[in-house]
Structure 1
C-alpha cells in the first residue's frame, strides 16, 4: 500500500486511492479538480477556475466558493490518510502537485512519447505495443461527466490528440500487415469522424491490402460525396492520390516489406538536442567562455545556472548546435524537468536509459541494474566524443551516473540550483540578464519594422521586461499577435508593477508560472523571507535591512538570504570598500516577491474577516 492517488481524466472524472474509489463531491468540486488536473504542476488562477465553473459569469462570492471547493477536496483526500499536500495554494490561485501520484493523461502522453521513440528506431512491434497501452487508458470521452464550456475546450484538444495517436498507431499496424484486424475499427472511426482524411485513407489502404478493392473504392466515393455535401470541396491530396494509386495497382500501396531489426550502430552523429533558438540574442562573452570547455583538460562539465527565464536552456542548446561538428559521437540530450516537477528517485535511471538509447543501444539490451547500465554508458562515452546536454537539473544525484568520466566527451548542465557538487570542478557560468543594447536588439529583431519607428518605447519595454530573455520573447510575441497595438501601449501596461506579470503571458507562455516553480521549491522559512523582502522599497538592500524587517538576528537572516542567492532568486553585490555584502533583486523577481506578499496578506485578512465567523453554512454554498 502506498500514498499514491490515481486520477482519471480519460473518461468520467475518477479518483482512487489504494484501489478504493473516492467520491469527489458536487459539480463545482469536480470542475475545480478537472481544471487542476488538466494543468497538473501548474498554477491555475482563481479567475480561470471561476470562469470554468460559471461559464464566464461568476457571482460576487466566486473566490470564496472556489476556496470552499478546494478546502472540501483537501478534506476528502486527507480523510484517506494521505500525508502530503496535493492541492497547494499558490498565488494567484491553486496547483495540483503531481509528485508520485498517477494521472492517466500524463501516463498516456509518456507512453506515446516512448512509442514515438521506438518507432523512430524502427522497433515497430514494441512501438505498437506502447501505442496500444496508451490508447487502452481511455475509458470514453475525456471528462464526459463535467459540464463546463472551458473544460470542454480542453477536452476537444485531448480528443484531437487521441485521434492523432490513433492514426500513428494504425500506420504502424499497417506496416506489420495487420490489415484485416484494422478494418472494423477503422470503419467505426470513419463513421464517427467522416471528414478526417487520414483515417479514411487508412481504411481504404487496409481494405485494398485485404483484397477488398471494391470496398476501398466505395469508401472513397462515400467520402468524396460527404465532403462535397458538407463543405463544398473535393477531398484533399491524401485521398485523391491514394485513390489513383489503388485504381492503378501502384506498387507503393501493396503489401509493405517487413522491416528487419537492424543491429545497433557502433557510432552515431545524431543531434538529439531541441531545435536552436532563432533569433538568439547576446551572450557573446558566455559563448566564448563555453568554447573553452571543448579543449579544457581539467573540466569535462560546463554548468550554467541562473533564475527562471534568464535563458539557460537557450544558451546551452545554441552552443550545442554551434559545436555539433566538434563532437563526432553526436549530441545527447535529456530534460530533467526541474521547472515542472520535483526530482524523483527514478530520474537517474530514466536519464541513463534515455542516453543509452540515443547512443544506439536497443531498449532490450539496456541493463536494468543502475550500476551495470552506468558502466556500459561510461564505456561508450570513452569510445566516442559526444556532448551530453543535461537540461533543467534539480540535483546532482539525477545526473552523477551520466557525467563523462575520464573521456573525450563533455557534458553541459543547466540548473536553477547551484549544484554544489559541480561548482568547484565545472566550468561555471552564473547568468545575469542580458545587457540593455542586446535586449533592445533582440526586441527589434523579434518585433520587426514597428520597432524602428518607436526606439524609445522599445528601450522602455526592454527595461520593464528586466532584460530577461523569456520576458522579452513573451512581450514580442504578444505584440506580433496584436498588430493593432503600439509598442508604447504594451509598455504602459507593464509600467504598473502590481499587474506587470499579468501582461507577461501569452498563450502557453507565462513568466509567472516559471517564477512560481522556483518559489515552490523553497523551504517555508526561505519562502517567507522571499515574500517579505518584496516589501522593501528598493531593489538593493543590506543584511541589516533584512534582519530588521524580519526581526531576526543577523546570522539567521544571512542564512535565509544566502539560500535565496543559491536558488538564484537574489544576487549578492560585493562591497567596494568594506566587507559588507549587499543584495539585489532582479526587477521582475522583486515584482513577483511583492505580489506573493500581497497575496499572503489578503489571505490572512480573509481568514480574519468577521463575515465568515459563525456562518458554517458557507461551506455548503456550492
Structure 2
C-alpha cells in the first residue's frame, strides 16, 4: 500500500482510502508522514496540529489520536506502517518510498544525478505523483505553511524539468505550459527566463522581448527592483540573436571529481589508542546495511578534530572515491553555525556539479548529493557540529560511505536516530601529556626540570589545547624556565592560556561553548563553578540553582550534552579544573546577590541534610536548633542509617568545602552547626584529622557568637578531636575549659558530658584510673538529672574502665544493668560498647568462647551501624581469645582485617600494634579495647 499526501490526504494509489478520522487526527498522521521514520517531538506535533495556542488537554488528546490512528493503520495497511513511541515523541515507521512525497523527492534526487535524457523520464514520473493540492482537506497554520513549501518544491521540479528540456533543444512545445506557469507566477524570474527562451526558439522573439518588458515593469512597480543579472543577460542574448541560445549541447552529464579535502594530519599525535580502536572497529563491521557514522564528542580544546583527522589520514586508502571535510562552525568566534545549505553546496562543488545544475531547495540539493555519493567508498568528516540537525542533510544514504562527526555536544539525535557510534573524548593521561611536552620542547629541556614539567602537566590536567598553549609559550621563549611558567600559571590562572589568536586561547575556546548556552544553562554553569567541593549531586545542585528538580536536571543535561560537565553513573556532576576556572570567572559577572543567595542555599542544603543524617546515626544525642533554610533550599531525604552513611561518604569533601564557604562569608552559625552534624560520621569512620580541622573551625566561629552553650559544645568537640589524634595535653586543656564554662553556667548536663569526654581522653592517654574517675562522676550527675539515656551511656564507660583497671565484678554489674538500659531505650551504640566490654571481661577471666561470642555480637552491631572505627577495635580484640584457644588462623584473619581498617583510618599506632601481633601470634600482646561511647 502507498500513501498519497500530494493530493487527497492518505488516499491509496489504488484508490482505496484509509480514513484517519477527524481533521485534526488526519493532521497528526500528516505531521508524522512528512517526516516519516524520524522522531517528531510531542511539542512539535501539538504545534503542527493546534498552532501556537493549543487547548489545555492537548497532550492527552494527542495520545488519544495516536491510539486511534494505530488501530486504523493496523486494520488498513497490513502492518506495513505503524506509529511507534520514541524518546520525546512519535515516529511513523513505514517504507519511505511508500509515501508519494518521499518518492517524489527520491525521483528528483535521482534525476539531478543523471544525464539530461535519462533525467527527463525521472522528472516526469516525479511530477506525475501530484494529484492536486498537497495536504488536501487540512487547515491550520502548519498545514498552510507546509502546503506552500511543498508547492514550491513542485514548482522547482517543474522548472528543473523545463531546464532539462531546454538544454536538450526543446522550445516551441513548451510555450503553452509555460504561458500558464508565468500567469500563475508573474514575478518568478526563473519561470520568466524559461518562457523567454521557449518563445525565442519557437520563432516568437518579438513576443519574448515584449514579455521581458512586461516582467521588468512589474518588478519595478511591485518590488522596486530591476530583473536579476541572469534574466538581463538572457534578454541581451535574445536581442543580439546569440547562437548559443539555439545550440544543442552534446553532453550535460555531471563531471566526475575525486575530492581530497582533508586538512593536514596533526603532528605530533599522542595517545588516544582506545578511541582509535573504537573508530577502527566501525570499519571492520561488515554487517551494517546503513551508512557508518562515528560521533566524537568532548569539550572544546580536548582534541576532537585532531583525533578525527589523524584517523582519517591513517585510513585514507580505504576511501578511494574521495574524502570530504567541512568545518560546520558550530562553536567559534562568529557565533553562528554554518547553514546546512552552505555545507551541502560546498560538497556539490567539490563533487564537480556545475553551478547551473544545483537546485535551489535544500531537499533537492541533499538528494543530489546523496545520489552522487551512492555506491561510492567515500569518507566525510563533519567537524565542529552544533547539533544533530545541522549534520542530517549531510549524511549519505549509502552504506559504502563513512562519516565522522565531531562536536562539543553529545549528539543524541545521531546516536538514536541514525545509529551513530558514540566516541567520548576525555583528557590525556599524565604519561601522554608528558610525551606531548617532550615532543614539542625536546627531551633535554623537559628532563632538565622534571618537577616543573610535572607541575605544568598537573595544572593543564591533560587538556590537549592547554598543553599545546603551554608548549607554544615555552617554544617561543627558549630562555624561560619551566618552573617560572608553572608559578605564573598557578598564580594567574586561565590568563596564561589566553592568546590573541582565538583558536590558540583556551578561554576563547571555552567562551564559544558558553555563548552557545541558553540563559538558564549559562547561569547554572556559572553557579556550578562556585559550588563547594570537587563534585556535586543533583539534589545539591537543585538547591544551588534555586530551580525545581526537573528544571535543574534539564539544565544539567544541556551542559553535559555540551561537554562542559561530566556525569557519572551515580549522577554526580564534575567539571575539569580548567573548565571550572572558566565557570568561576563567568560567575563573577553574576550580580552579587545572585551568587550569595546560591551559596547560602547550597550551604543550607548540606547543613540541613547533614543534620538529618546525624539525628539518624545518633538519635539519643541532644539536638541543636537550626534556622529555617533559605527559600529554594531542598534538603535531601535520608530514610535510614545506611542511606545516611552513603550520603556522608559521598559528600564528605563537599561538606568540608561547605564549611569553608560558610567561614569565608562569616556565616558563623552554619560553621559550628556543620561541625556538630559531622561528629558521629567522623567518629565512626575514623576521620580523626578531618574532625580536628572541622572542630577547630567550629570553635573559632563560635567565639563570634554570644552563646555560652555553643562555646561549651565547641570546646568539648575540639578536645575530643585532639584526643582522637593523640594530642592529649591539648585535649585535656580544651575539655577542662569546656567543663569550667559548664560549671560557671550551672549546666549539669554538659558538665557530665565533659566528664565523659575526659574519661575517654584519659583512657586513650593510658591512665585508666583517671578515666574511671571521670566516668563515675558523669554517671553520678546523670543519675541526679534522672536522664536514663545519658545514664546508660555513662554506665557503658564506667563498666569499660572498671574492667580495664581489673575490677571485673564491678564492671560486670554495670554491664548487666547497662545492657538492659540500652536495649530498653534502643541505644545501639551503648549496647555494642557493653558487649565489647563483656568480651574483654570474659577473655580476661578465662572464658574465651564466651568472649568470642560477645565480640562477634558487638561486631555485628557496629557493622550494622556502619561504625568501622569500632569494628576495627573489636576485630583487634577478637584475635586474643582466638589466640588463647590456639585458633591462630582465625586470629590471623581478624587481625589482618583490623590492620587494613586501621590503615584506612590513618590510625598508625594501632596498625603497628596489630602488625606486631601478626608477626608473633605465639606471643600475642593482650591489649584492652577502646570503648564506643564518647
State the TM-score, normalized to the length of structure 1. Answer: 0.51
Distance 1:536 1:27, change over 3 A: farther
In the other structure, the counterpart of 1:226 is 218
1:159 aligned onto 2:163: no
Residues 137-176 of structure 1: per-residue CA shift (max 9 Å, x gap): 1222321321020232233322222222222221110111
In the other structure, the counterpart of 2:553 is 498
> 1:112 aligns to what SS in structure 2?
helix
In the other structure, the counterpart of 1:49 is 45
In the other structure, the counterpart of 1:217 is 209
Residue 270 of structure 1, aligned match among 255, 258, 270: 258
Distance 1:232 1:438, change over 3 A: farther
CA–CA distance in structure 2, aligned partners of residues 390 and 248 of structure 1: 46
Superposition map of 1:136-535 within 5 A: 136-259=128-251, 270-271=258-259, 284=269, 310=297, 330-331=321-322, 388-389=378-379, 431-433=423-425, 435=427, 437=463, 459=510, 478=516, 488=522, 491=525, 498-500=553-555
Residue 6 of structure 1, aligned match among 2, 7, 32: 2
CA contact (8 A) 2:6 2:129 kept: yes
Distance 1:114 1:306, change over 3 A: closer
Residue 67 of structure 2, aligned match among 47, 63, 71: 71
CA–CA distance in structure 1, aligned partners of residues 466 and 149 of structure 2: 37
1:88 aligned onto 2:80: no
CA contact (8 A) 1:493 1:500 kept: no
Distance 1:244 1:440, change over 3 A: farther
> 2:84 aligns to what SS in structure 1?
strand
Query: How far 1:64 sits from its partner (Å)?
Result: 0.7
> 2:144 aligns to what SS in structure 1?
helix
Query: How far 1:453 sits from its partner (Å)?
Result: 14
1:128 aligned onto 2:134: no
In the other structure, the counterpart of 1:21 is 17
Distance 1:63 1:270, change over 3 A: same
CA–CA distance in structure 1, aligned partners of residues 268 and 198 of structure 2: 54
> What 5-or-longer segments of structure 2 have no aligned partner?
299-303, 325-350, 352-375, 383-397, 406-420, 428-461, 469-498, 529-544, 546-550, 575-934
CA contact (8 A) 1:50 1:66 kept: yes
- Which structure features the higher share of helix residues? 2
Query: How far 1:83 sits from its partner (Å)?
Result: 3.5
Distance 1:332 1:108, change over 3 A: farther
CA contact (8 A) 2:20 2:72 kept: yes
> 2:2 aligns to what SS in structure 1?
strand
Distance 1:286 1:536, change over 3 A: closer
Query: How far 1:248 sits from its partner (Å)?
Result: 0.8
CA contact (8 A) 2:502 2:509 kept: yes
CA contact (8 A) 2:322 2:379 kept: yes
CA–CA distance in structure 2, aligned partners of residues 291 and 452 of structure 1: 24
> What 5-or-longer segments of structure 1 have no aligned partner?
334-357, 359-385, 393-400, 404-410, 416-428, 443-447, 463-471, 512-532, 541-622
Distance 1:23 1:412, change over 3 A: closer
> 1:60 aligns to what SS in structure 2?
coil
CA–CA distance in structure 2, aligned partners of residues 536 and 439 of structure 1: 29
1:98 aligned onto 2:94: yes
Distance 1:504 1:54, change over 3 A: farther
In the other structure, the counterpart of 1:378 is none
The number of aligned residues is 397
Query: How far 1:237 sits from its partner (Å)?
Result: 0.9
CA–CA distance in structure 2, aligned partners of residues 283 and 69 of structure 1: 58
RMSD of aligned C-alpha atoms?
Answer: 5.5
Residues 578-609 of structure 1: per-residue CA shift (max 9 Å, x gap): xxxxxxxxxxxxxxxxxxxxxxxxxxxxxxxx
Residues 216-235 of structure 1: per-residue CA shift (max 9 Å, x gap): 11110111111112111111
CA–CA distance in structure 1, aligned partners of residues 190 and 157 of structure 2: 12
Query: How far 1:52 sits from its partner (Å)?
Result: 2.1
CA–CA distance in structure 2, aligned partners of residues 126 and 32 of structure 1: 37
In the other structure, the counterpart of 1:33 is 29
CA contact (8 A) 1:15 1:21 kept: yes
Distance 1:79 1:261, change over 3 A: closer
Q: Which has the higher contact order (CA 8 A, sep 6+)?
A: 1
Distance 1:325 1:212, change over 3 A: farther
Distance 1:412 1:449, change over 3 A: same
CA contact (8 A) 1:457 1:491 kept: no
CA contact (8 A) 2:3 2:13 kept: no
CA–CA distance in structure 1, aligned partners of residues 10 and 124 of structure 2: 21
Distance 1:180 1:320, change over 3 A: farther
Larger radius of gyration: 2
In the other structure, the counterpart of 1:349 is none
CA–CA distance in structure 2, aligned partners of residues 45 and 248 of structure 1: 57
- Which structure features the higher share of strand residues? 1
Distance 1:242 1:388, change over 3 A: closer
